[in-house]
Amino acid sequence: MGTKPLSGIRVLDLTNVLAGPYCCYQLALMGAEVIKVERPGTGDLARQLGADPDRNAALMGVSFLAQNAQKKSVTLNMKTEQGKALLRRLVRTSDVLVENFRPGVMARLGLEYDALRCENPNLIYCAISGFGQDGPWKDNPAYDQIVQGVSGVMSVTGDDSSAPLRVGYPLADTVGGMTAAFAISTALNDPERGGFLDISMTEAVISSMGWVVSNHLIAGQQPAAHGNENTTSAPSGTFACADGPINVAANRDEQWQSMAQHLGRGDLLAHPDYATREDRKRNRHMLRAELEDVLRRRPAADWVEELNALGVPAGPVLTVPQILREPQVRNRGLVAEVETPDGVLALTGSPLRFGAFRPVPETAPPALGADNDQIWSDLGLSADEIETLRQEHVI
């Protein structure tokens, strides 16, 4: 691919931790120049987070590395008048600004959208927050854990004995960040460039729960936690085999019929408890027991191969290390290696592919303030002025 889709777009990334940085990482992978604007001395809190204490101490924590490659880093104290003036100058040269402060923080600094659009009428200003820029919860602190709870996700995760249960990764941050990246990309395509984007992580997560929400709003169904069962059909869910579980989604009648015949349980097809889709859904736990009696006799891999060959969707239940080793993922280039002063980093690239081209990071996550000299000198500051700002802790 010659030119990446967002080449020539400059994004100011004022965000911290995950939702905002993940959003801006997606934009960077698509070719945007992303300038991460960080607090002098400490920077993004994620620089101190992750499973490697030595990296945390060096302000290059694994949590930071995960979604900050392909970016530049400058430091700026936006509480100072000089810092505010420098941000305004940066805004004049930029297309997008992304922040994930609590609503009202940027206004108290005099750097809210209405103030900054005076510097650049075409600025796309994206504010990511837990609940949105208005409403009774707008001032409440919101982290992924909080949003998972209030959005209803935890209430439908797990089963009767374990719900409410947190999803095992920062779902709300990630969905919120991807929603913001989608919104920004859309706004960049608007012929009348410029505007304010209000991204609520809670609303992004609720939107992603489409079937659960619609079943409640339209069909009056009370959402509940069903564990590994897919309640829209049966047999559809996770089934025990001799050496571990598999997932099966025999959602169509012909798939159910093929599965029953292959397992030597054609007798179930004539059983009145399993005659129709609704019958099978109603009696899904009895049906599971009948099928697992056969599935437990052989390894999961055998059943996956044989059922898929019959057109019955089936798949193994893998760990994260296992799926990363699978040729299906490894050979498609989702994970790329980036050279750093401390060695090679393995990082995930974009989940999108343009034909055979997948955007992956080409430069390592930046050290704190690594691009101060270049970015500030490009704005017209002299080396002496930059050094003075550094001594005064403005940058």
Print pLDDT tens along the chain (395 aa). 668 999 999 999 999 999 999 999 999 999 999 999 999 999 999 999 999 999 999 999 999 999 999 999 999 999 999 999 999 999 999 999 999 999 999 999 999 999 999 999 999 999 999 999 999 999 999 999 999 999 999 999 999 999 999 999 999 999 999 999 999 999 999 999 999 999 999 999 999 999 999 999 999 999 999 999 998 999 999 999 999 999 999 999 999 999 999 999 999 999 999 999 999 999 999 999 999 999 999 999 999 999 999 999 999 999 999 999 999 999 999 999 999 888 899 999 999 999 889 999 999 999 999 999 999 999 999 999 999 999 999 99
Return the residue matching tokens 């992603």: 208
Q: Could you give the CA distance from residue 103 to residue 101 in angstroms, rounded to a whole number?
A: 6
Query: Vertex 353, ends 311 and 8: CA angle to 5°?
Result: 165
Q: What is the pLDDT of residues 112-143, one digit of tens each?
A: 999 999 999 999 999 999 999 999 999 999 99
173: annotated active-site residue = yes
Every domain of the chain with CATH number 3.40.50.10540 lies at 10-208+333-391
Report the sign of the C-alpha dihedral through residues 343, 345, 346, 350, in that order: negative
**Overall CATH class of domain 10-208+333-391:** alpha beta
Return the residue matching tokens 């949105």: 132
Domain 236-317 architecture: 2-Layer Sandwich (3.30)
3-state helix, strand, coil in the chain (%, to 5): 40, 15, 45
Q: Which of 44, 173, 190, 342 is catalytic?
A: 173
- Please give the full DSSP string across 7-71, using - where no structure is assigned: TT-EEEE---TTHHHHHHHHHHHTT-EEEEEE-TTT-SGGGG-SS-HHHHHTT--HHHHTT-TTE
Mean model confidence pLDDT for the chain: 96
The pTM is what? 0.94
Every domain of the chain with CATH number 3.30.1540.10 lies at 236-317
pLDDT at 1: 64
Are residues 13 and 21 in contact, defined by beta-carbon separation less than 8 angstroms? yes
